[in-house]
Structure 1
Amino acid sequence: MTPTSPQLTERVLADRVLGGWLGRIAGNMLGKPVEQGEVWTRERIDRYLRQAEALPLTDYLPEPPSREVESALRSEWRACVRGRIHGSCRDDDVDYAVLGLHLLETHGFAFTTEQVGELWLLRLPYLQTFTAERAAYRNLANGLKPPLTATYDNPCQEWIGALIRADVFGWTCPGVPRRAASLARRDAVLSHTGNGVYGAMWAAALVAAAFTAPAPRSALDAALTVIPASSRLARVVRRVISLHESRLTWEQTLATVEEETAGLGWIHTVPNAAVITAGLLYGDGDFTRTVALTVRGGLDTDSNGATAGSVAGVLCGADAIPAQWTEPLEDRVRSAVFGFDGVRISELARRTVELAEQ
């Protein structure tokens, strides 16, 4: 699918790419205050929202209704709740999208995994990396090369880190999910293995498919084709789809999958992909409902909100994202990536479109 086709004109492409960036940043900001899955369960998040009279959730999180709630939030909450947001907060879920854009601008679509590692060392502060990425960064600094950077002294190889790096590969491969997945795999193997890599491929394909898919289910079906059908990731995504088709409620679906993935931990790729899938299906193409349900689903709330927001933003386009999500961002990104702090979201989107048109 080319940008000049009747289905994806240049104007539509630009609107969808900007929608992806805005959706990713807004979803990340929504989930950031409650990002700690063992503390902020689905039940506790909804209790917070009920106490603040904020259900149904249609905007950023409200001010904490009590000192008890406030003490459990992440320290950054003051810059992420409604009425206090002035531009996006810095977060790795956005840093990696920025860094991925810089990677493609610097090395093109033929980049190597080694070049991804070199760019991390040049542009990304070590203390702004976490879990598998920090292990890979340390291995790079000690002279190891991929794929050893992913496997040596790294207990987080199947966690969600590679998945959160994948959106830019989808944004730059609109309507071509298999190509997006191939790029995401090349990036992911620096730090991940198994379902960690499949998660990145799945997310990139999901974003790419959203450019031409008529609905979230179509994009999810396309994304499933790029990962092994027997993988645990593919099985859990299919499971959520089947529960949705059987007309279970969103709460019943997540409760069922939570029981079936017990023990994997709140940062593992598999249960988080289930939350994203449920948010997309039950959100049914509505941006606000999609990001709200995804964040209310718990686990890695800011990462899940970011990915679901990106997909929903691509599906509907920037013009269709309600203003309460976009206006507080003030077209500005805070980033730890050297040389990008304060960059405009619209500028990042414009540069992404230029790559997509190649």
Structure 2
Amino acid sequence: MNRLTLTFGVLACSWLGSCSQPSQDAPTSGSKVLSLAELKDKIKGGWAGQTIGVTFGGPTEFRYNGTFIQDYQTIPWYDGYIRKWMEGEPGLYDDIYMDLTFVDVFERAGLDAPVDSFANAFANAEYVLWHANQAARYNILNGIKAPESGHWLNNPHADDIDYQIESDFAGLMNPGMPNSASAISDKIGHIMNYGDGWYGGVYVGAMYSLAFVSDDVHYVVKEALRTVPAESDFYKCIADVINWHEQYPDDWKRTWFEIQKKWSEEVGCPEGVFATFNIDAKINAAYIVLGLLYGNGDYTKTLEIATRAGQDSDCNPSSAGGILGTMIGYDSIPSYWKMGLADVEDMNFKYTTMSLNKVYETGYRHALEMIKRNGGEVGDSTATIAIQQPEPVRYEKSFEGLYPVERVTVNQNITSEYAFDFEGTGVVLLGSAHKDGEELTDYVFSVDLHIDGEKVETFTMSTDYTKRRHEIFWKYQLPKGKHAVKLVVANPRDGYRIWANNYVVYSDKPVDGINSHHVE
């Protein structure tokens, strides 16, 4: 650990208030003994909890951006609700089927499976993906391997929520061993994320891991944060939430407002810049923590608050519900929330060959193996976990020195060429490839990108939604100044087009917010 990290660590303990004073319910020794039945119950609680949470928040996802869901609005829950969503809207479960993809790779290729096995498995899967996951899928299918596939220079969504929502497996297979979970997150999380986007998965994985060995939500939230470098924005955001909870222990909405004031500005995801939409990992992780702290172990309050905070309001209660479900175990999840769960536990999640009952068993076996690999012991009826004290992963930062300064509306088809000028240090052009009729076969465009008269890239754009390029192009770290952009479609074809939506311009310093949004 370098001196800078130590300095920030001291400051962080000041922010967190009780870094050196773990709660009475925190593990105080180097090991913890769980019965095998209890271990399995906790693993089941983690998988069931995230399934319950994502289903509960499903109809609210990104419908409440920059606002919370009012108390008078009832969020439905009834017997048969989980089946309705699993059968009718399988895409809702992206944070589950991505988890299951990785669990399946471990099962097929072993716990030492190389990163390419995980990357290729999800890149070639039939399910629909978005944001960092889809950008990484495109990269992998087009020869950019991990970890470059998740790096912000190759992935405009590097700080998005994606690995955060699918890191549950890393914690669930590493009970009481957050550093072992972080090692898995380093390998798999960098397939699609970097910087704060990666830290979201490291942190959530660590909370799951520690939920096996502590019954104190507040301890788990604070202690897991030690896995994240204190100089990162992600750490500072979550540390703020912890402190605001201490200042306003009975008012989650006051803390929600404080989160908005300080942490709601988006820099990376092009769809969230100059918009209320925010899929950034750290602010959505703040809502997870909001639910956990103010829920204080109450399952209903935890899900309600994590959902009502808005933005990615299915994934956030999924993480919160899974972490709390791990802590209390499957049997202690209130029966109200398990209504209809037994009816779907043998149902494979669409696009996978895994069901909840299968992953309960598979995840349990993986956890036993990881316990043994990390200095623990497994007996006939008990498992002795060698508890790991959380250590911070390395520091990295996405989009450093980039500031959004302008969004320009385009709204036109590109059939052969498109050109525009901008002034700044970077630009992202949003858009997608389309065919003009469902009866047409999919088509792949080849596009040349020219900047300032020089061809800098040739890329492809498919009309196949699962293979799509998430943005038309992006280019960062340009010399500050005026730049000329030209796109040339090398293989135009009747009935097919590239739709250009708008572009976001970046510079090396922020501008006056009053003048930062220009529409042509």
> What TM-score, normalized by structure 2, do the two folds share?
0.59
Look up the match of 1:131: 131
Distance 1:313 1:174 in 2: 13
The question of 1:85 aligning with 2:86 is answered no
Which amino acid letter does the alignment assign opposite residue 171 of structure 1?
Answer: L
The question of 1:308 aligning with 2:316 is answered no
Q: Say if 1:142 and 1:6 are closer, same or farther in 2 by CA, change over 3 A.
A: closer
Deviations 1:254-311 (CA, angstroms, capped at 9, x unpaired): 1101110122242100100111111111111111211111001111011101100110
Look up the match of 2:362: 351
**1:39-188 to 2 correspondences below 5 Å:** 39=64, 42-43=67-68, 45-46=69-70, 50-51=72-73, 54=74, 61-62=75-76, 81-87=77-83, 89=86, 90=90, 91-122=93-124, 124-125=125-126, 128-151=128-151, 153-188=154-189
Q: Which one has a larger percent helix, Structure 1 or Structure 2? A: 1
Instruction: Confirm or deny: 8 A CA contact 2:79 2:339 kept in the other structure.
Output: no
Distance 2:206 2:351 in 1: 25
Distance 2:340 2:236 in 1: 38
Which amino acid letter does the alignment assign opposite residue 239 of structure 2?
Answer: R
Deviations 1:163-212 (CA, angstroms, capped at 9, x unpaired): 11110111110011111111112111111110011111111111001100
Q: Pick from 339, 346, 351: which aligns with 1:337?
A: 351
Structure 1 window deviating more from structure 2 (164-173 vs 86-95): it is 86-95
Q: Pick from 272, 277, 281: which aligns with 2:293?
A: 281
Distance 1:102 1:84 in 2: 27
RMSD of the TM alignment (CA)? 1.9
Deviations 1:294-343 (CA, angstroms, capped at 9, x unpaired): 00111101110110011010111111111121122224355233333xx2
Distance 1:352 1:84 in 2: 26
**Distance apart, 1:150 and its partner CA:** 1.7
Q: Which one has a larger percent strand, Structure 1 or Structure 2? A: 2
Secondary structure of 1:257 counterpart: helix
Distance 1:29 1:326 in 2: 11
Distance 1:182 1:218 in 2: 22
Secondary structure of 2:337 counterpart: helix
Distance 2:212 2:300 in 1: 18
**1:316-327 to 2 correspondences below 5 Å:** 316-327=328-339
Instruction: Confirm or deny: 8 A CA contact 2:148 2:154 kept in the other structure.
Output: no
Distance 1:347 1:188 in 2: 24
Secondary structure of 1:50 counterpart: coil
Q: Say if 1:256 and 1:353 are closer, same or farther in 2 by CA, change over 3 A.
A: same
Which amino acid letter does the alignment assign opposite residue 365 of structure 2?
Answer: E
Instruction: Confirm or deny: 8 A CA contact 1:28 1:306 kept in the other structure.
Output: yes
Look up the match of 1:72: none
Q: Which runs of 5+ in 1 are unaligned?
A: 55-60, 63-80
Instruction: Confirm or deny: 8 A CA contact 1:99 1:337 kept in the other structure.
Output: no
Aligned residues: 320
Look up the match of 1:70: none
Q: Say if 1:334 and 1:305 are closer, same or farther in 2 by CA, change over 3 A.
A: farther
**Distance apart, 1:148 and its partner CA:** 2.3
Q: Say if 1:185 and 1:337 are closer, same or farther in 2 by CA, change over 3 A.
A: farther
Instruction: Confirm or deny: 8 A CA contact 1:233 1:270 kept in the other structure.
Output: yes
Q: Say if 1:321 and 1:153 are closer, same or farther in 2 by CA, change over 3 A.
A: same
Secondary structure of 2:227 counterpart: coil
Distance 2:239 2:367 in 1: 30
Q: Which has the larger radius of gyration?
A: 2
Distance 1:293 1:99 in 2: 29
**Distance apart, 1:40 and its partner CA:** 5.0
Structure 1 window deviating more from structure 2 (15-24 vs 263-272): it is 263-272
Structure 1 window deviating more from structure 2 (150-159 vs 212-221): it is 150-159
Deviations 1:233-263 (CA, angstroms, capped at 9, x unpaired): 1111111111111234111011101110122
**1:294-305 to 2 correspondences below 5 Å:** 294-305=306-317
Secondary structure of 2:139 counterpart: helix
Distance 2:218 2:177 in 1: 16
**Larger relative contact order, structure 1 or 2 (CA cutoff 8 Å, min sep 6):** 1
Instruction: Confirm or deny: 8 A CA contact 1:36 1:300 kept in the other structure.
Output: yes
Distance 1:230 1:6 in 2: 31
Q: Pick from 22, 36, 42: which aligns with 1:10?
A: 36
Distance 2:174 2:110 in 1: 13
**Distance apart, 1:6 and its partner CA:** 6.0
Instruction: Confirm or deny: 8 A CA contact 1:331 1:346 kept in the other structure.
Output: no
Distance 2:199 2:192 in 1: 12
> What TM-score, normalized by structure 1, do the two folds share?
0.84
Secondary structure of 1:8 counterpart: strand
Secondary structure of 1:219 counterpart: helix
Secondary structure of 2:327 counterpart: helix
Distance 1:142 1:6 in 2: 46
Distance 2:54 2:41 in 1: 20
Instruction: Confirm or deny: 8 A CA contact 1:113 1:189 kept in the other structure.
Output: no
Q: Which runs of 5+ in 2 are unaligned?
A: 1-26, 267-271, 273-277, 370-520
